Each structure stands twice: as C-alpha cells, then as structure tokens.
Amino acid sequence: MKKKFLAAIAAGLIASAPFTATNAAPAQDKETIYQVALLQSLTMGYFDGSVTVKDLKTHGDTGIGTFEGLNGEMIVLDGVVYQANQDCKINIMRDKDTVPFSNVTFFDKDFSVKLTNVADKESLEKIFSEQVDKHGRNSFYMIKLSGTFKEILVRSEAGAKEPYPTLVEALKTQKELTLENVDGTIVGLYCPDFMSSLNSTGWHFHFITADKKLGGHVLGLNLANGEAQFDKTDAFNMNVPKKNNFHTLNFNQDLKEDIRKAEQDSVKKN
C-alpha cells in the first residue's frame, strides 16, 4: 500500500511539472535561409511542389517564392503566406498548397536604413548593395522595406499545366500592374555571388500593399519614403525534391540569361 501511495505522488508531480527544454517546442532558427529547390530548376520548368505551405512556415515567417505550377508570386510576411494571383490580387494560401521554389527565414532585424526619394529600382539596389558591402557581401540578407511608393510596377502569372513550359515561356503571359501613391512592403532577398548555381545572385523583390489586396514580383518602382530593415543571415539550408523527375534535370548548362529575363523583363511597351 505504501509503495502504491508513493508511486501515485510521483506520478502527480510529473504530470504537474512545467515544460522544460526537453519537451518544449523547438526554438526558431533565426540565422538560416531555407530554400526549396533551386531557381535553376524552376527556370527549366520544374514547377512541381515539393513542400507544403504548412511545412514552409516551420522554416520561416518572411520570404518570397511561388506555388505549384508557377501559380502566382509568393510573399511571406509576418508568418502569413500570401499569393499574388495572375491579376496581382492577394490571396492567403492554404496549408495544403505546395511550393516548388521559395526562400524564407525567421526575420530578425540586424540594422535598418531610412530612405527618401529613391527614383527607381536600380537606385534602390545600389543603396542596398552599399549596405551589403559594409556589413559583409558574402552573407545572405532578407529585407523588409515598408513605405510609400509614388509608383511601383509589379507582375504575376497564372499557373501552368503539365507538361510544364520553361519559366521564360510561362512568363510570356504575365500580367503587370502599375500602382500609384500606395503604401506597402517589399520583401526582398540578397544572395551572394557564390550562389550563382543555386539561385539568382544580387537582389530579388516581391511587394504587397498595406491593405493586403495587391502585389507581385517587382519590376520597377519610385519610392517616396520608407524604412528598410535588414536581417543578415550566414547559414543556408536547401530542400532537394525527392521526385524522380527532378533528378533527370540537367544542371550543366548556362541559365543566366533566362534568369535575367525572368527577373527583369517587362511586357509593357515603353
């Protein structure tokens, strides 16, 4: 009887014990860029989703990417995964939706820069790159730029059907939208030069309006004022798709021009 009584007391103490480091939820890794597949595989037309939105959110609360079938542009902000659809209208994606390419991190501000009257995207990239040179050009940087834009040009695209075209072919039907005098946030990623075979080097920007109604991949801008927050990150983790068709891709080719076209080209006539 005495043994049973002592065992009951012990069980009660265990049941009422607070969570410890061994049974608490794992801490967020705030110093790693998590990448799904490669921009090069996306460029070749590998649009199959390899992770779910639910899984992606366990690796970061801020980032960019796209969805299975190249179904719109992804903006991850404050832990919410948004899609800018073909009409550049914003939707919140479901946990079960899948992702063929993305970069996310748990955003942890290291420094910030106030900005005024930045006339174009090239000028913004120059300002940002000066910060990269100052803080370490061989690190990754995720940025959040919140501000008022005199004008910003964004694009998005509709999902493609199998057999998938290349990225450049798929983007021939992209729709573009010019927004004027609008508040919003640019989420951007800087990849150092050594990432040239895994992603695009330099800057890549996606945008979402403050009211979470419109957005897309940034092709041009004119910033009135704002503040850019920088998260310098030195670790990198990549998910390699498990499907057999990923392993038939030939990465021994030069895709730089295709990536440049996909990143920068506008279908609007000047």
Confidence of residue 15 (pLDDT cuts 50, 70, 90): very low
pLDDT, position 173 = 85
User: What are 23-56's pLDDT values in tens digits?
Assistant: 555 678 989 999 999 999 999 999 999 999 999 9
On average, the pLDDT of the chain sits at 91
pLDDT, position 132 = 98
Average pLDDT of the residues in 213-226: 98
User: What are 237-249's pLDDT values in tens digits?
Assistant: 999 999 999 999 9
Of residues 27 and 210, more confidence is placed in: 210
Cα→Cα distances 149→4, 68, 212, 230, Å? 71, 30, 15, 19
DSSP per residue, the chain: -HHHHHHHHHHHHHHHPPP-TTTSPPPP-TTEEEEES-HHHHHTT-----EEHHHHTTT-SEEEEE-TTT-SEEEEETTEEEEE-TTSBEEEPPTT-EESEEEEE-----EEEEEEEE-SHHHHHHHHHHHHHHH-TTSEEEEEEEEEEEEEEEEE-PPP-SSP--HHHHGGG-EEEEEEEEEEEEEEEEE-GGGTTTS-SEEEEEEEETTSSBEEEEEEEEEEEEEEEEEEE-EEEEEPP-SGGGGG----S--HHHHHHHHH---S--
Average pLDDT of the residues in 81-102: 98
pLDDT, position 26 = 64
- pTM of the predicted structure, to 2 decimals: 0.89
Q: With a cut of 90, say whether residue 22 has pLDDT above it.
A: no
pLDDT, position 10 = 44
Calculate Rg over the CA atoms of the chain: 21
Q: With a cut of 90, say whether residue 12 has pLDDT above it.
A: no
One-letter amino acid at 11 equals: A
